[in-house]
A and B are shown apart, each in its own frame.
Chain A
Amino acid sequence: MSDKPVTMKCPLCGFEFEKANAVCHHGCPMGRFCKLIRCPSCQYEFPEPSRPLTWLAKLIHPPRPRRPDALDLTGLDAGETAEFVGLAGANESRRHTLSLYGLVPGVHVTLQQKRPAYVVRVGETELALEADIAREILVRRTA
């Protein structure tokens, strides 16, 4: 297993995310042989950047170290507000339930507490969730 999270940036919308969070298209026939990466934000699919090329690019354009924008809810601190990006995970019913409560891409969520369960505020709706669902909720820090 890779020990360090691989961060990548979507060439289309510029969204930065962890590779582990890339949502694979549900029911992709290629399965794990698929070499395409799907941006969790705009769902654009792009090939994984090849190593030498990135290395070259880094030589010319050394990246500033920064924390990734995209993280899951468990990475936020209590009291922080972030933009909801999408769900990492293919559980349709979960996605559906959450969207009924107003958790759709683009809305701002505020994490109110982490213990004993996660509580997020979406608009004026307060939702209590368990950690394993919180881990699937991808958000982007704003501001």
Chain B
Amino acid sequence: MNERTLILVGNPNVGKSVLFSKLTGKFVVISNYPGTTVEITRGEMQLDGEKFTVIDSPGVNELAPRTEDARVTCDVLRDHPDATVIQVADAKNLRRALLVTHQLAQQQRRVVLVLNMMDELDSCGGHIDVRRLSELLGVPVVPTIATANTGIHLVQRSLKDAAVPRWGRARPPGAPNVADGPAVRPYQDDGLTAINEVLSQTYSHVRPRHASFAQQLGWWATHPVKGLALLAVALSVTFWFVGLFGAGTCVDLLETGVFGRYISPWAIRAVDAVLPFPHEHETEVSDLKLEIPLTPAHGIELWSNEREVLSTNYKSEATGWRRLVHDFFVGPYGVITMALSYGFAIVLPIVTTFFLLFGVLEDSGYLPRLAVMVNRIFRAMGLNGKAVLPMVLGLGCDTMATMTTRILETRKERLITTLLLALAVPCSAQLGVLLAMMTRVSAAAAVFWFVLMVGVLFVIGWLASRIYGGATSDFILELPPMRRPLLGNVLVKTLARLEWYLKEVIPLFVLGTVALFLLDRAHLLDKIARLGEPLVRGWLGLPAQTAEAFLVGFLRRDFGAVYLLDAATGANPLLNAHQVLVAMVTITLFMPCVATLFMISRELGRKTAAWIAVFVFGVAFLVGGIVNHTVVWLGF
């Protein structure tokens, strides 16, 4: 039965997943490898009426269990001793692939070598003598372009010829014996000499006169000046697409349009019909605008329309279970009118736009180049450029980013990155709300907020690295070629991330709303507001009612921020400009959400998580209070 198993093995980023999906078609199971978070994908392939199981293993540079990914690949190979290995190679980087082939040979695996990305090999001026390579190694060698579906059939045809690669025996007479000359260095030889020999006989390269545009772009992206310009462009695009288009236009359409006009009124009517009790809902004016945003406050209006809709507010003397159930679903703290509308109408569009853009950046090969640009700065915080990936992902979802800190090599780096994520990297949902609040303060205050957040990030990072001591890992990072992102790839990744996100977030929203609902019922909200008064009113200078916001902020800080947003921008706002600024600062520095806290305790242990939580809340209130008192003292 094992003979019918195929394992895809190869260096990272060689097109394994693309080849996998071309081989297997639809029925794919993605699962975490037992005991790890590394994902492996299994699928089925039909060939000549036979069924094969195909396994896609994580990309590795060597078959030694040095990293979690490599450990999984080694385990997968060990668990299927008779399976045929399809080694996928990036044709441009034949040397690195042969290193893996050599190790497969040592394990006596039967191998088919697939040279993928032949199109890119061509355009960079390389040439591989496929026949000769196949002769030297004694295994089938199949050139493919997985993205264009070229050569996939040949891969399937050659499976029956899979063989254990041999090394060094097929030297033709007359060929220079590299192993004898003085040119060979007794570097610790893991088959390096043999690989050099194979390469010299099969690989030739004529560098094209002109670099391609993608290559140029890649160089610009790490250039000290042009790189900064490109970074500025990337930031502006992100700001517009996520901050203005996602958090503005899309949220408006979904919140005011879909939820405000259809889903909520419909749900209210449905509940009223099922559970009638004497009451009459108020109506409110819903003003729906469709516009192309230019700044957080201005835009080009395309269309607008006003209409009266049912509101969640009503007056009634009735008591009893009907009213309770009614309120549970469609009251001011109702599951449908609050939790689902926050989750789907506010958070979803923002997060979707962010993950789309992140997918594009990831697929294009820009992110590692960003790591090169920021490496120096991150060094000061005891990190290196590699930490930029979790940090940027944190702008999408801090919980997901906390999980991604695993790619960092030392505990010190993981700890500092996690701390900074929890403290000062707002996730996109929260950023969207913060942007909306920003329209209530002056431009100077918005800039102040931004500078303060970046300042806190660096100061805390710097202090943490001083206190924690120890070395940071080497900065050696491969820069994959810049590519035009594939729409399909980006969409699939975005969908997978969204699914993960929704599963994580919607339950929390519902939980938070239910908690609020119960507290409201038990008339505890007022008590809590009074309890928090010294802190909220005395220290932060905010109205006592906002204690509620910080309370739900414990659950999710964007939830708390939405609360503050209501207080800041309602019909008769509760907060003045100075208070909005204080509220923004405090809520930005809050712990992102309970899910993040759980993730931290899973990654770093419960004790560390507790310390981080205490520290983060402490810093949030401390900095918020300092801002409040400074602004008051300066007399603004």
Residues on A facing B (Cβ under 8 Å): 12-13, 41-43, 86, 93-95, 97-102, 104-107, 112-113, 115-117, 119, 123-130, 133
Distance of A107 Cα from B203 Cα, bound (Å): 13
Name, among A86, A97, A116, the residue most crowded by chain B CB atoms within 10 Å (CB to CB): A116
Distance of A107 Cα from B99 Cα, bound (Å): 15
Q: Does A97 contact B476, Cβ atoms closer than 8 Å?
A: yes
Q: Does B61 contact A116, Cβ atoms closer than 8 Å?
A: no
Q: Does B185 contact A41, Cβ atoms closer than 8 Å?
A: yes
* Residues of B with C-beta under 8 A to A95: 188
Q: Measured between C-beta atoms, what is the minimum distance from A59 to chain B in Å?
A: 29
Partner of B373, one of A106, A116, A126: A116
Give residues 130-144 of B contacting A (CB, 8 Å): none
Partner of A123, one of B92, B182, B185, B481: B92
With CB as the reference atom, state the residue of chain A lying closest to B480.
A126
Name, among A107, A115, A117, A133, the residue most crowded by chain B CB atoms within 10 Å (CB to CB): A117
- Knowing A126-B479, A128-B372, the reply to whether A101 touches B96 (Cβ < 8 A) is yes
Q: Does A12 contact B182, Cβ atoms closer than 8 Å?
A: yes
Q: Decide yes or no whether B306 CB sits under 8 A from chain A.
A: no
Distance of A106 Cα from B185 Cα, bound (Å): 8
Interface size class of B (residues with CB under 8 A): 35 or more
Give residues 90-107 of B contacting A (CB, 8 Å): 90, 92-96, 99
* Residues of B with C-beta under 8 A to A116: 222, 224, 227, 372-373, 375-376
Q: Does B185 contact A42, Cβ atoms closer than 8 Å?
A: yes
- Knowing A100-B99, A102-B95, A119-B479, the reply to whether A128 touches B182 (Cβ < 8 A) is no
Q: Does B475 contact A99, Cβ atoms closer than 8 Å?
A: no
* Residues of B with C-beta under 8 A to A117: 222, 372, 375-376, 385, 475
Q: Does B477 contact A125, Cβ atoms closer than 8 Å?
A: no
Distance of A128 Cα from B478 Cα, bound (Å): 6
Other A-B pairs beyond A93-B474, A113-B223, 7, CB < 8 Å: A12-B182, A98-B476, A99-B187, A117-B385, A127-B479, A128-B368, A129-B476
Encoded as 1 (CB less than 8 Å from any A CB) or 0, chain B from 49 to 70 comes to 0000000000001100000000
Q: Measured between C-beta atoms, what is the minimum distance from B215 to chain A in Å?
A: 9
Q: Decide yes or no whether B218 CB sits under 8 A from chain A.
A: yes
Distance of A119 Cα from B372 Cα, bound (Å): 9
* Residues of B with C-beta under 8 A to A113: 219, 222-223
Partner of B222, one of A42, A93, A100, A128: A128
Q: Does B224 contact A115, Cβ atoms closer than 8 Å?
A: yes
Q: Could you list some 24 contacts between A and B, CB below 8 A?
A: A13-B182, A42-B182, A43-B185, A93-B474, A95-B188, A99-B187, A100-B96, A101-B476, A102-B95, A104-B192, A104-B196, A105-B192, A107-B95, A112-B219, A116-B373, A117-B475, A119-B222, A123-B94, A124-B93, A125-B93, A126-B218, A127-B478, A128-B475, A129-B476
The 10 closest A-B pairs by CB, nearest first: A124-B92, A126-B479, A100-B61, A105-B185, A130-B475, A128-B477, A102-B95, A128-B372, A117-B372, A115-B224
Q: Does A101 contact B61, Cβ atoms closer than 8 Å?
A: yes
Q: Measured between C-beta atoms, what is the minimum distance from B121 to chain A in Å?
A: 8
Distance of A99 Cα from B624 Cα, bound (Å): 50
- Knowing A116-B224, A130-B474, the reply to whether A102 touches B375 (Cβ < 8 A) is no
Q: Measured between C-beta atoms, what is the minimum distance from A41 to chain B in Å?
A: 7
Q: Decide yes or no whether B371 CB sits under 8 A from chain A.
A: yes
Give residues 469-505 of B contacting A (CB, 8 Å): 474-479, 481
Partner of A130, one of B188, B375, B481: B375
Partner of A104, one of B61, B90, B187, B371: B187
